[in-house]
Amino acid sequence: MFTGIIQATGKIETVTAAGDDIKLQINVGALEMSDVQIGDSIAVNGVCLTAVSSGQHHFEAHVSKETLNCTVGLDSAREVNLEKALRLSDRLGGHLVSGHVDGVGQIVRFEAVGDCWLLVVRAPHGLSRYIAIKGSIAIDGVSLTVNSVEKDTFSMNLIPHTLENTTLKHLGVGSRVNLEVDLIARYVERMTQWGNESKPT
């Protein structure tokens, strides 16, 4: 489990084929690794990956074909957002993020508005019902608050701190991003479905 508060940006340095899967070596930048053990989870651009080896400046992860099919941004050398798994004693500064990407969105607007930036994303139609005004969403692992929703598009305002400390500053119109909707929305939907299924006929 994660919070969507990015702890550092790193870089995928090598991508090695492993059958239909790939293996990544990631430079962690300023991310503190002294408490990371083999088997620990680290979110990379919002995707929960398992560290199969780790050191002071790097870790390696195995990425399955299934993960590659439903995410973007893991199959080539690039800067990535990093967050270690949440501990029970940590502050929950963002929102509960599982690191299980729900779908891939596309940027349709990204422009300066005063000191901030307006980011507008088109979500896959099947995810739109989970996105609500003032609700939370993770974009490439970054916890953000939704400001508006219109059909399959939604918008957010990004403050300078967010741009300075995440990879979102590299986005442009047409960029594809990993989306994870709010867990609570999914559970509410399931409880409603279960209630309807359980009614006597």
d(CA 67, CA 65): 5
Looking at residue 197, its pLDDT comes to 81
Q: Please provide the CATH number assigned to the domain covering 8-84.
A: 2.40.30.20
The answer to whether 55 touches 86, Cβ cutoff 8 Å, is no
**Pairing of β 116-122 and β 148-150:** unpaired
Looking at residue 146, its pLDDT comes to 98
Looking at residue 186, its pLDDT comes to 84
Per-domain boundaries in the chain: 8-84, 103-190
Looking at residue 199, its pLDDT comes to 73
Q: Which of 36, 22, 21 is nearest to 8 (CA)?
A: 36
With a threshold of 0.75, does the pTM exceed it? yes
Looking at residue 196, its pLDDT comes to 81
Looking at residue 201, its pLDDT comes to 63
The answer to whether 86 touches 132, Cβ cutoff 8 Å, is no
Q: Which residues of the chain have pLDDT under 70?
A: 201
Q: Please provide the CATH number assigned to the domain covering 103-190.
A: 2.40.30.20
Q: Which of 51, 127, 144, 138 is nearest to 100 (CA)?
A: 138
Residue 77's alpha-carbon distances to 26, 95, 96, in angstroms, are 9, 28, 28
CATH topology identical between 8-84 and 103-190: yes
